[in-house]
Structure 1
Amino acid sequence: MLARPQFFHFSLYFFQKTCIIKVAYAIFTTQENPMKKKTLYRTAACALAVAMTASLAGCSKSADSESTAETATPETATSETADDSAYDYLADFSYSDGFDENGYLKGVTAADYVTLPDDYADITIDASLAEVTDQDITDYIDSNILSSFATTNQVTDRAAATGDTVNIDYVGTIDGVEFDGGSAQGYDLELGSGTFIDGFEDQIVGHTPGETFDVNVTFPDNYGSTDLAGKAAVFSTTLNYISETVTPELTDAWVQENLSPTMGVSDVTTLNDFVKKQLAFNNQYSDVYTALHDKVSFADELPESAKEYFRNVLLYGIYSYAQKYGTDMTTIVTSGFLGSGYSTVDEFIADMDGSINTQLEQTLLLQAIAEKEGIQCDTDTLNTEFVNQYGIKDPSNFTEIYGENYVKCQLLDSIVMQNLINNVKYE
């Protein structure tokens, strides 16, 4: 069974093992606090620096390894292929299409649409937002950095217990006959996770690697496949091994060997300092942006070229998903996959209009400040500031995927916000 893979978007690039549509959708649907999603990508930048390849590559594995034994309802596009030819132009879409060589919206002067008061930078926020404890730093490094370098041992000399991750082969039968989607080899399953149908995982507990045994279960009456709903099934299961994760010890030598080549850190102290800065930035970002947004005013009509670009960001996510998984854009928007069912792609985009305006306001506001302060993100700035903002020495992995101008826009955003945060007042 095909899982629901998430798509990948640079402005939220830290989300581990995500692939563009859900993330892009989330950016535009966070109207209540438009910066909440945006703030997150800073805190995990250092995790990405050490595990970007794994983060980008994780999507297809999870999608391919799902099976009928799981609780998730099978979702297969059954409608006739819709005519999506109006969106064929998206084949040539680039995230850099909307921005110029300095990270500004292409052909847009933000000051024409945003009125900044003289005291726009006079911002006061809660002092607690700047506080980062040693435990916060440790927890972040453990969860986002060291975990990326963890290794797995294959344990074969003890019985499996709840909480273990086991590697299994299984073949499912109903009345002695194998059924489609009921078999897998080398599947990693966390016992007690509730991933598989009720009773499956419990019956693996207590068995030892090397054993082959039967797991007897009954599919729920409301199971997604009517051919399986309510049926009793037997899964001939082989427990191959138990996986145990070994996390490396954080030492100066380990940082020097593993992080120094890609990040601007050379020992534990500099790593801690970098993470502390990122966490403090993240804690303050939303409140600073909200205070800033409350001070400014926007033109009644925002630039249509920029609105069109942000529409295309959403459309490209849907288009990419359709291309990758052999379906069509209309099937995706009508399926409820995006949170609601829409009758057409155009209806979905129309429903997103308010959220697109919110995202555009954010981009215009930060660009307006950059224009006023004379801040640009040219190529030299990209090469010198990327490591300071994200802890990554070489931005080429990102520019190759998303284009240099888009990465410049993201960096410009961070530089402007960092300047504001550096000068906030606390109460």
Structure 2
Amino acid sequence: MSTNFEKISSNKVKLTFVVPAEDFDKALNQAYLKDRSKINVPGFRKGKAPRAVIERMYGEGVFYDDALDAIFPALYAEAIKEHNIDVVDRPQVDVQEIGAGKELKFTAEVFVRPDVTLGEYKNLTVEVEPKEVVTEDEIQARISQDQQKGARTIDVTDRGVDYTDTVNLDYAGSVDGVPFEGGTAQGQTLKIGSGAFIPGFEEQMVGMTVGEEKDLTVTFPEKYHAENLAGKNAVFHVKVNSITKTELPELDDDFAQDNGFDTFDAYKADVAKKLQEIADTNYDVEIENALIEKAVANAQMDIPAAMIDDQLNYVMRDVEYSMMRQGLRMEDYLKYTGQTREQMAQQYRGEAENRVKIQLVLEAIRKAENIEPTAEDIDEQSAKQAKRAGQEVEAFKANLTDEHKAYLSDLAAIQKVCDLMKAGATVVDKKPEEAAETAEETKTEE
């Protein structure tokens, strides 16, 4: 067999195959042996008719398609390997000559990973929002999170309901004396002041004591999800089963020691340090993203639709997993929004295309600069991944598969590409009005 390789565009190649007659005849005979039991021929038991008889009855090409299907996969895989082709779509096959006792000649055109013509990617100038300096309010908010983790729940029996208390209650609602669907519950938990119930409900519970029963009069909002209740007055008969309050630990040295520090000052300093490290990392990532965006804009490439389609499938899977983590099914979301999956996917097609562009440009820069990660670079990525997974580095590395090792190697190479771009870059802080415009654009896109 011989194969000819021809590049017909920046993203497509053509393979020409010539298969010896004897090889194709073998494939024809195999197709006959495989299919003869399915073919009815008068005068012969099923599966017993000679090949020549079947070909006379159904035409000499009766086994051509199956013979080609049988012989093609191995020939195609061998050609891809021989010519080192990175295909991204299914091939389009065109048979030029076929027949018993003849050479089989056909071509296969297929889209491949496209060539990328790089523009400027070094010494770029980018504008980003100024580096954030962590504020006292942010430090206090982070400390409050740790404080909440150490909170205790205490039963309240010596006073009535107050704001921020949590109440266990029974209630039964009615409109004009008639109970309505969804208006009755037993053992419901409600945090007073949360705004979780109809306006006026929680406020009227303030002062109620354990075991007390009371009628609360409220008005449903004009824009209420249940149209039959919108704007109507309702009465809820309420009984308080229990009252609890949350007691937070004091912010002192004892609190610090519970969190692994000798003093509260040392604990607070560590909180501030970690928050600033996060802010610094985010700033570096913003610079990298701005540089990549500019390098992509400066590059030229013709991306096959199949590459975007594949990436779109990944994007949609990410969206679906994100919904699942929030307790929402894709089917329900589509129903609520009145969309089909295809319509929703179209909204993410631009994002998928941009992801492909970024990947192709980073790979092209890596190739142009002959960038290969060192063992130290890969170890650094392993350490980062282990930290994110909450594992010791050695334990993390011990469980790595070959596929995961290759992934870490690619991450390390991409980081070196980003480091190269940052090395000669000029970073300018956006002016306040520009930062505000960017934030508004982002909000609008969301």
Structure 1 segment 179-328 matched on structure 2, within 5 A: 179-239=180-240, 240-246=242-248, 249=251, 253-256=257-260, 269-296=269-296, 297-302=298-303, 304-305=306-307, 307-315=309-317, 317-318=319-320
Instruction: Provide closer, same or farther for how the CA distance between residues 169 and 125 of structure 1 changes in structure 2, counting only shifts above 3 A.
Output: same
Residue 277 (structure 1) shift: 0.8
Residue 237 (structure 1) shift: 2.0
Higher relative contact order (CA 8 A, sep 6+): 1
Question: Equivalents in 2 of 1:214, 1:416: separation in Å?
Answer: 68
Instruction: Provide closer, same or farther for how the CA distance between residues 288 and 306 of structure 1 changes in structure 2, counting only shifts above 3 A.
Output: same
Residue 132 (structure 1) shift: 2.1
Q: Answer whether contact 2:382 2:408 (CA < 8 A) is retained.
A: no
Residue 407 (structure 1) shift: 9.0
Query: What amino acid sits opposite 2:180 in the alignment?
Result: F
Question: Equivalents in 2 of 1:321, 1:277: separation in Å?
Answer: 30
Deviations 1:153-186 (A, max 9, x none): 4444333344544443323234555433223344
Residue 243 (structure 1) shift: 3.0
Structure 1 segment 49-60 matched on structure 2, within 5 A: none
Instruction: Provide closer, same or farther for how the CA distance between residues 221 and 141 of structure 1 changes in structure 2, counting only shifts above 3 A.
Output: closer
Deviations 1:106-159 (A, max 9, x none): 999999547363515x55657x83352452661452255544454444444333
Question: Equivalents in 1 of 2:195, 2:405: separation in Å?
Answer: 44
Structure 1 segment 43-82 matched on structure 2, within 5 A: none
Which has the greater radius of gyration?
A: 2
Matched, 1:119 2:117: no
Residue 278 (structure 1) shift: 0.8
Deviations 1:254-273 (A, max 9, x none): 3338xxxxxxxx96655543
Instruction: Provide closer, same or farther for how the CA distance between residues 367 and 275 of structure 1 changes in structure 2, counting only shifts above 3 A.
Output: farther
Give 1:386's aligned residue.
385
Instruction: Provide closer, same or farther for how the CA distance between residues 118 and 419 of structure 1 changes in structure 2, counting only shifts above 3 A.
Output: closer
* TM-score, scaled relative to structure 1: 0.53
Question: Equivalents in 2 of 1:203, 1:246: separation in Å?
Answer: 26
Q: Answer whether contact 1:166 1:190 (CA < 8 A) is retained.
A: yes
Instruction: Provide closer, same or farther for how the CA distance between residues 243 and 123 of structure 1 changes in structure 2, counting only shifts above 3 A.
Output: farther
Query: What amino acid sits opposite 2:259 in the alignment?
Result: V
Residue 235 (structure 1) shift: 1.9
Question: Equivalents in 1 of 2:153, 2:417: separation in Å?
Answer: 40
Instruction: Provide closer, same or farther for how the CA distance between residues 412 and 273 of structure 1 changes in structure 2, counting only shifts above 3 A.
Output: farther
Structure 1 segment 1-16 matched on structure 2, within 5 A: none
Kindly indicate which of the two structures has a greater share of residues assigned to strand. Answer: 2
Farther off after superposition, 312-321 or 196-205:
312-321
| Partner secondary structure for residue 256 of structure 1 | coil
| Partner secondary structure for residue 223 of structure 1 | coil
Question: Equivalents in 1 of 2:284, 2:389: separation in Å?
Answer: 19
Question: Equivalents in 2 of 1:173, 1:406: separation in Å?
Answer: 64
Give 1:374's aligned residue.
372
Question: Among the aligned pairs, what percent are the same residue?
Answer: 24
* TM-score, scaled relative to structure 2: 0.51
Instruction: Provide closer, same or farther for how the CA distance between residues 358 and 426 of structure 1 changes in structure 2, counting only shifts above 3 A.
Output: closer
Mark the runs of 5 or more structure 1 residues left unpaired by the alignment. Answer: 1-105, 258-265
Question: Equivalents in 2 of 1:139, 1:421: separation in Å?
Answer: 37
Residue 187 (structure 1) shift: 3.6
Instruction: Provide closer, same or farther for how the CA distance between residues 277 and 407 of structure 1 changes in structure 2, counting only shifts above 3 A.
Output: farther
Question: Equivalents in 1 of 2:252, 2:360: separation in Å?
Answer: 41
Q: How many matched pairs?
A: 303
Q: Answer whether contact 1:169 1:184 (CA < 8 A) is retained.
A: yes
Question: Equivalents in 1 of 2:153, 2:414: separation in Å?
Answer: 36
| Partner secondary structure for residue 208 of structure 2 | coil
Question: Equivalents in 2 of 1:366, 1:320: separation in Å?
Answer: 27
Q: Answer whether contact 1:168 1:241 (CA < 8 A) is retained.
A: no
Instruction: Provide closer, same or farther for how the CA distance between residues 284 and 110 of structure 1 changes in structure 2, counting only shifts above 3 A.
Output: farther
Question: Equivalents in 2 of 1:186, 1:421: separation in Å?
Answer: 60
Give 2:432's aligned residue.
none
Q: Answer whether contact 1:123 1:288 (CA < 8 A) is retained.
A: no
Instruction: Provide closer, same or farther for how the CA distance between residues 305 and 425 of structure 1 changes in structure 2, counting only shifts above 3 A.
Output: closer
Instruction: Provide closer, same or farther for how the CA distance between residues 231 and 317 of structure 1 changes in structure 2, counting only shifts above 3 A.
Output: same
Instruction: Provide closer, same or farther for how the CA distance between residues 300 and 324 of structure 1 changes in structure 2, counting only shifts above 3 A.
Output: same
